[in-house]
Structures are given as C-alpha cells and as structure tokens.
A and B are shown apart, each in its own frame.
Chain A
Amino acid sequence: MQTSGDGAAVVQPVDAAAPILELSDAGLAYGERFLWRQLDLAVRPGEFIAVLGANGSGKTSLLRAILGEQTLTTGSIRVAGRPVRRGGRQVAYVPQRISIDPVAPIRARDLVRLGLDGHRWGPGLWNAASARRQVDALLESVGAKDFAEAPVSLLSGGELQRVRIAEALAGDPSLLLCDEPLAALDLAQAQTVVSLLDGRRRARGTAILFVTHDINAVLEVADRVLYLAGGRFRLGRPDQVLTSAGLTELYGAPVDVFHTRGRVIVVAASDPGAGVHGSHHGTHQADHDARSEPAHTRGPE
C-alpha cells in the first residue's frame, strides 16, 4: 500500500481492469438542445454495451464524440486514461452505412489490408508477406476466408459487414464502436455478426459499444444497456433498463415493455415520437404495429 503526501491511503485496485473508456459529465448540444447530458459512463475491457434510443437521440453523435470527431459541449472523454483524440489507435469503428462504391476495384482482402496499414504513408510495397499473413488471420477470424478474393461489389450485406469488422479489428483496438452494423442484415447474418463480436470480446477483451435499434439481436450478449431519449438517458443491466416503469420515466410518457419468448418489445403508448424498439426479426406482426414512429429527425444525428 502506498501513502500519498497528505497521508491519505491510495489503494491500487488489484482486479486491475481500468476502464478503457470513461465519459464524465459528458453532454452534447446542438444549439439550445442537448442530445444527452451529465452522462457518466465507464466501460471496462471486454464489456459489451448496447446503445439504444430513437432516431435523433444522439447515438451516432456519441460514437463520433468517442472517435474525437465531435467536440463535447460539456464534460470529458478519456480513452485508456488519456483525453480522446482523433485517429487514436485504441478505438476502431464499424460505420452504419455501407458506402463502398460498387465499381471500386477492391477485393475483400484489400479492404482488410487497408484496415491494417492503410493509414501509413508510403506505397507499402515492403513486408507484403507478413501483411498477407495478418490479413489471412483476420479474414479467418471473421469466417471470411472463402470470399477473400471476391470483389466487394459481389459480397452480400452480411459478408461485407464481416469483412468490415475484420478491417476495423485490424488495428487491434481495445474499444470497438459499432453503429448499427446489423441494419441491412437478415436474422441469420445478424446472429453471425453478433456472435463474432461476442467471441472477440471474450477472447481478446475488446470492449464493444454497439448502437442498435433492435435490442433483441444483442440481448443475450449485452452486459449493459445505455438508453438515450429526450436529452436524458438510463444506464444499467438490460433487465434494469428495459422496464415499463423505467422507460416511462425516461420518456416522460407511457411506455410499455413486453417480455415474450425471450424477446423484448417496447411500445410507446401515447407518444409515437418517442420511438420504439420492436422485435426486428422475430415477430413481424408486433414489429409492424410498433413501427408507427413518424420521422423523428430533429437532431442532426
């Protein structure tokens, strides 16, 4: 035990696991309107956190702030104990939109190679052999070996998303930010991607912040849920956050949460603008009923 100058004991935590990401009193406002404020969040290595919220609630902005691409209005963000900065090696990102030009002459393997050393200057003609081995290992780890040589324009949505996860993981990040990576995927593809990420964080301790509009896809693997709505948030275990009482308080309007067959269905009773997170894949009937949400695009999310 160490003792600091003023005599107070300084205890070093033995179970280590210092948080990889710390937000303290974080707030982000566009003009007068706060997307979220007073957000305190500490993410430990290997943790899987699902980020939920209606369109415009600031989910993507949160990820951009953690990437250092968006300046906070209040508070601070620390990554691995240091103030956040743009292009830090600790944080990797899997974007929401798949915006790769379909005519780009790029194979799956090339995309992963770019993730590996595409940020370096110079033509990169040296150590091609070792880069190739690393790319092979990355492709293998996401089960993408079979289509490694295929042009990305010929990949299905699920295949491309797996390749992009390999691309993001190429820098061996400690924190992976995923912005709706399941958006264009069917149920089987979505499950493959989720179990891939789950395996990664268990094996390598990569913390994952996973923005989604469908909690059910990640319900079994999420340690905690961060639910953003109306400038406020709730943070906790899924069974703590996803309750009728909790979400009703969060939205300030009646919200019902149903648990059925291991799935969660959130229905906003009177305020459709609050947004809903119905079962995206399982029960289509409920899904369509729940999707009465009108375009809710006040915030520049």
Chain B
Amino acid sequence: MSSCSQIRVPRWFSLFVFLAFVAAFPTVSPNAYILNIAGFVGIYILLCTGLNILIGYAGQISLGHAAFWGLGAYISGVLTAKFGWSSVLALAASVIGTCVVALFVGLPTLRLKGHYLAMATLGVGVIIHVMFVQFSGLTGGPSGLVGVPSFSVGSITIGTALENFYFIWAWTAIGLMGALNLSQSRMGRALNAISSSDVAAECMGVNTYRYKVIIFVLSAAYAAVAGSLYVHYLNFAAPGTFGFMTSILLLTMVVVGGIGAFWGPVIGASILTILPEYLRAYEGLEELLYGMILVGVMMFLPKGLAPLFHNLRLRFSLTKQADEGG
C-alpha cells in the first residue's frame, strides 16, 4: 500500500472548516446575548481541551481543574485591577504563575495512580479555592474581585461582545490546533501509550513520570489562558465560579463529548454551556439534567458523543473512497 509510507495529513481540514463557521457566526447572530454565550463556549472549549489532554490523551484524572482556571483568572485580574499591570503582561504572568503552581502540585501527585491522583487533585483544588476566599485583601474575598479592566493591547481595548468573541476564539483556535498537533505527535503517542499501559510504555523507554508532569502543566496553561480571558471579559471574578462543582462540570463536559477524542471537548462544552441558557426559567433543573446526561452517556455512549460524529465522517469518507477507487 502506497498510503503506508506517507504521513497522514492531520485532521486540520475539519478543524479549519469548523473555525470558518465560527468566524462567520457573528454575521448570522447580530444578537449580543447570543454572541456572549458563544464567547463563553469558546472559553469552556479551551478549558475542556486542556483537561482532555490530561484525562483523555494521558489518562490521568484531575478533579481540581477549575482551580487552575481560577488561578489564571485571579492572577490576571488582581495584577491588572490592583497593581495596574497591562493585561498582556498579566496574561503572561497568569500562565507562568499557574504553570509553576501546577508543577509543584504535579511533581508529588503524579507519582500517585488512579483514585489517589483524583483525591490529591481534588484536595489541591479545594485548597486553592479556599485561598481565593480567604486572601480577601487581594481577591475581594467571597464577594469577588471587581474592577478588572477589559483586555487591551496598547491603545486597542477589547470591549464589545463582538471583539471579545473573536479574541476568545482566536485563543480557542490556537488551543485546538495545539491539541490536534499534539495528538498526532511522538509525544501524543507516548501519552496515549501511558494511558493504555503505563508499564509497557515505561519498558519501551517512555519517561512516564516526566511526561505526566509536562502534560499536567500544559493542561494548567490552557486553564490559565481561559481564566485570563474570562476575567477580562467579565471584568469580575468570584470564588464560587472556580469551586469543586466546576471541576466536576468540566469533567462532565469532557465525558459527554468523548474522553480522548479531539472533538469531544468541543461537543461537550458546547452542549453543556448552551443548554443551561434554555433552562434559566427552571431553577434547580440544571443539576438534575447534568446528572441525567452524565448517567445516560456513561450507560449508552461510554465513549461520548464524538464517535457518533466520527462515524458519520467515516461513512462519508468510505463512500468517497469507494467512488474514487471504483
């Protein structure tokens, strides 16, 4: 087979088509409210893509991902609101700061496996959340951090919903491209191997511990960017946003979309960000629905929704091949 020797073209095509649709979205949605939601969808996709790299690609569970999101938001928010930093520098600082914290958290906890890792990350998430509440001098405590300026580069301020939409989605696009490249690289394969058989990967020369730490830090970097985008978009941050329940929500998004599938976080985050908007009227129904969706997916679609889309694509490409091959 000649196709064996050539590098498979990455699934960039579908990603570019998707991003083209996203870029065209504001033209069909002049409504700022819808655009606003679409911006949040971008942030959640970025968050979930980072989490999926850790959980799906490398097979390491984290129950504290929201804390890294919060850390990114608070570092960026506090530096701009309280210390007058430029938002560009604050974004860089929030990524570096969050990565350093993730490194210190990851070094000891990633020696643990399975449930122990889940428990450790849960604990760290709760601790960081408590810090947001307790360091009220800096963070504004339980009532939240106010007066965070919008993101600005030089004299250009990203203020309107439309500007924010494109700004957020530019980052989301970068994040998605990075994840796509990663999934098809030497490192991505090694991570996949770790998630399947740690022992065999190790015996074939993969430094499993080092890779787990790298990927843990990378997923935190995704969260930090998402945090910084979030806080400058909303001009506000409250500790409740970054609590344990959010970590679970992010996990639910990844699971519903399809753990380890590239499109998983996109699908999961979109559904679970848009759905609650329709349920605003029914207070308390959200949690119930999340639970039902999670149980339903685990029972009937353990690989999430992404494979359904993949199957469609596969069927399409098979018929195309058959047509061409004759």
Q: Is this pair of chains taken from one and the same complex? A: no
A contact residues vs B (CB 8 Å cutoff): none
B contact residues vs A (CB 8 Å cutoff): none
